[in-house]
Structure 1
Amino acid sequence: MILHLNPFTGLAGDMLLAALLDAGADLEAVRRAVALTGLTGWRLSAERVRTGPLSALRVRIDVQDDATERPAATLIEMAFRTGLPVAGAALTAIAEVEGALHGVPAAEVHLHELGGHDTLIDIVGCAAALRDLGVTRVHCAPLPLGEGTVRTRHGVLPVPAPATLALLRGARVRGGASGEAVTPTAAALLRAAGAVYGEAPEMTLRATGYGAGTRELPDRPNVAVAMLGTPAAGHETQIVLSTNLDDVTGEVLGHVLGRLLAAGAADAWVTPAVMKKGRPAHVLHVLAPAERADALQEVVFAETGSLGLRRGTVEKVALPRHFETVELYGQDVRMKRGPWGVKPEHDDLVRVAEVTGRPLRDLAREALDAL
């Protein structure tokens, strides 16, 4: 599923979560994911509100613990308990940016305004909603930067806040908004999800959602719009990147594949090869949407140290597919259905196997039987 975001008046973590819920994400699935963090003393709900002339969804987080400061390492550990890579990556990005701004290692960062329940719930909630909706690609229109000042633990800072600007490096931005239009939480989520900035991609529109912010604006509704669609059937031009590597370990190659997929690669794989003088080697291949090819090329160079690569154009035929969800032992398992069959998502089965101790192949059969 493709997600395209229109940050009409800006974007915050709670606005994104509300828009995804309004587009069809299951609130109970989001609550279960947050519960896996071990966080206590919270309640997450959603209500329909009117903002300007529009009806939209707004999330509400009620907490018994009003502490807003926590070590970043604690929040990162809690996020990774959920098995949601986007959540862990978003909080890691926040810690790295804050550490760079204040001159301390990321592992020693202590979050102030971003250390409360809201940050963790928004980030884990959005990651869970993306998984529930089966989102594999995130696109976003240019983000309004905002202007003015914001008061923080470190005093009055310019808007956009320094952490937000650092997290938005590489994003497409625009003027035309007042106040804090984009929050660090939203910026971190977009980075972790590998968002591509620009016009909406060609797709078949399936659902829309409107997430309301808390501010009331005098001349317009304060909303972020989520549009969900499936890739248009037919041929799609993509770029193949490839490079020969004879000095990179298998552990590093595994890490590189994960980085490439998280950064928006359509696929990434490694094949064995024999180079000159009989040297054993590997060939790293990356299938890249045209708009992500340059960014993915930089990931290859940075992670492998390669001095060059090959680029070629291919025609990819993408058949329509959609996700259904079944429940196994209290856990959601996504089922990818195409024209010629259905298959459970491997990562979801692994999560159920870790909880239950059951063999993976038995769970795959049970998931198919549950349809």
Structure 2
Amino acid sequence: MRVLYYDCFSGISGDMNLGAMIDLGVNEDYLLKELCKLHLHGYRIEVKKDEKKGITGTKVNVILEDHLNNEHDHGHKHDNEHSGGHEHNDGHKHEDHHVHHHHRNLKDIEEIIYNSKLNSRVKELSMKIFEKVAEAEAKVHGKSLYDVHFHEVGAVDSIVDIVGAAICYDYLNVDKVISAPIELGKGFVNCAHGTFPVPAPATTEILKGIPIKKGTIPFEATTPTGAAILATLVSEYKEDFSFNIDKIGYGIGFKDEGNIPNVLRVFLGEVQHNQDVYVLECNIDDMNPEIYPYVMDKLMEAGALDVYLTPTIMKKGRPGINLSVLYNIESEDKVKNLVLKETTTLGFRKYRVQRECLDRSIEHIDTPYGKIKIKNAYLNGEKVKCKPEYEDVKSIAEREGISFNEVYNGVLKELNK
């Protein structure tokens, strides 16, 4: 199982996450090209190697157009996301060609994302992250979800950070994201509520139910954007975790206070393939069929490794469905609760099985239709099979108005070359 592991010993922000992803191996040109599909103007992205207290990594700086020639910025990222939907304390407001960013609401963000040519997975994941922020802001301000104005989190640089996170996650195509407890830092931040202790109100709401640490870092270490990225992507939080490390990425931040470097460390690796997992099963003959896709999606979000349905004949000759869920023991409580809450079953059975998987890798190849993701599988270090990613083939077929098989076979020809 391929895993992405976040070590947030110095917190996380949107730009630190992008830096860590590029340092980990996400192709910089691919990321920038995908971000151009948003059709946002008024910014440029600076990517460079940098270091903090001897740790070398990648720094990403989203520079807004009306600050490109502003001497007081000196090329640094405009630090406007620290308080989520709150006003930035220097009073600067930025614009793009559509709308003042501090007036954007969730509907505005939806239009920008869903009107783009990003693939459906990136669109859906981006919106899930934004919805985390919107839900937190709605709670803090006592408003409905669509009445919340995002202020700085609706700014161009924060849109880039969030959509960029979704693009990077899609590019890496991991099976699971795990994180250590998240360092929040200490001190105070200036926001629309006045001077407020760390963590900011939106960050606090986003991280409810998530393991945190507080006080090691002498500044606001985790921003609402960083918190929302983790709250959306991560399915499990643990300090001690055994896996084989393939790559390590460092995202360099912009803070210099204290002895601990302002760096986000991320690992890409493989969990031992011969592993004990569990299967939960139940037979259902009285549930609306429209509910099954919803339940399956929720189970996958909860950490299930696989979910599938099998038609069956139950007692008294009634047709039914056998719902099967494959999961790790760490996800058991979430899986059990979802099955009992979201389906009509009154109980279930479970048993332990051993799962074996081939080693896998993802590569991007050039085709007549553009870059496409290829999934490779290895046995004892030798590649034994490969295939185009289904969602990429589907997206190209829909975009070009041609059949799925035509795209799929065309990609296979390129592979055979």
TM more than 0.5: yes
CA displacement 1:296-340 (0-9 Å, x = unmatched): 333333433544333322111122111111133554321111133
Deviation at residue 111 of structure 1 after TM alignment = 0.8
* Distance change in 2, residues 1:77/1:237 (3 Å): farther
Pick closer, same or farther for the CA change 1:308–1:149 going to 2, 3 Å.
farther
1:315 is matched with 354
- The answer to whether the aligner puts 1:21 opposite 2:22 as a matched pair is yes
After superposition, the C-alpha distances for 1:252-289 in whole angstroms (9 at most, x for unaligned) are 21122122223322111122233444443322221112
Could you list the per-position Cα deviations for residues 168-220 of structure 1 after superposition, in whole angstroms to 9, with x for gaps in the alignment?
23322123233222111112111221331113643322111110111113312
Q: Which has the larger radius of gyration?
A: 2
User: CA separation in 2, counterparts of 1:148 and 1:305?
Assistant: 49
Q: 2:187 corresponds to which residue?
A: 148
- Report the more deviating stretch, 98-107 or 14-23: 98-107
Note closer, same or farther for the CA distance 1:361–1:109 as it changes in structure 2 (3 Å cut).
same
TM-score by length of 1: 0.92
Pair 1:207–1:88, CA change in 2 (3 A): same
Question: In 1, distance between residues paired with 2:217 and 2:210?
Answer: 17
Number of aligned positions between the proteins: 370
Identify if the C-alpha distance between structure 1 residues 106 and 273 changes in structure 2 by more than 3 Å, giving closer, same or farther: farther
Specify the alignment match of 2:60 in structure 1: 59
Per the alignment, residue 75 of structure 1 pairs with 109
Q: After the TM superposition, which of the residue ranges 350-359 and 10-19 deviates more from structure 2?
A: 350-359
> C-alpha distance in 2, partners of 1:256/1:318?
25
Distance in 1 (alpha carbons) for counterparts of 2:366 and 2:30: 11
In structure 2, the residue matched to 1:171 is 210
Moved more, 152-161 or 349-358: 152-161
* Greater mean alpha carbon deviation, residues 296-305 or residues 120-129: 296-305
Distance of 2:337 and 2:113 partners within structure 1: 28
CA contact (8 A) 1:230 1:321 kept: no
SS at match of 1:318: coil
Matched letter for residue 370 of structure 1? E
Aligned to 2:406: 362
Contact 1:6/1:226 (8 A) holds in 2:
yes
Pick the aligned partner of 1:270 from 309, 326, 330. 309
Counterparts of 1:1-371 in structure 2 under 5 Å?
1-64=2-65, 66-67=94-95, 68-69=101-102, 70-80=104-114, 81=116, 82=118, 83=120, 84=122, 85-175=124-214, 176-199=216-239, 201-233=241-273, 235-304=274-343, 306-329=345-368, 331-339=370-378, 340-371=384-415
Structure with greater strand share of residues = 1
Is the Cα contact below 8 Å between 2:243 and 2:271 reproduced in 1? yes
1:47-106 residue CA offsets vs partner (Å, 9 max, x unmatched): 111211111211011223624421122213433442213212111222222223333221
Q: 2: CA distance between counterparts of 1:281 and 1:102?
A: 46
Q: TM-score, normalised by structure 2?
A: 0.83
Residues 35 and 201 (structure 1), Cα distance of their counterparts in 2 relative to 1, 3 Å cut: same
- Is the CA contact 1:333–1:344 (under 8 Å) kept in the aligned structure 2? yes
Answer whether contact 1:112 1:153 (CA < 8 A) is retained. Answer: no
TM-aligned CA distance change 1:330 to 1:365, over 3 Å:
closer
Does the 8 Å contact 2:35/2:164 carry over to 1?
A: yes
Note if contact 2:217-2:258 (Cα within 8 Å) is conserved in structure 1.
Answer: no
Answer yes or no: is the 8 Å Cα contact 2:185–2:218 preserved in 1: yes
Q: Which runs of 5+ in 1 are unaligned?
A: none
Name the amino acid aligned to 2:113: A
Q: What code does the residue aligned with 1:298 have?
A: N
2:254 aligned counterpart, secondary structure: coil
In the aligned structure 2, how far is the partner of 1:364 from the partner of 1:231?
Answer: 30
Aligned to 2:138, what secondary structure does the other structure show?
helix
Q: Distance in 2 between matches of 1:135 and 1:25?
A: 12
Q: In 2 relative to 1, CA 363–231 (structure 1 residues): closer, same or farther, beyond 3 Å?
A: farther
Amino-acid identity (%): 32
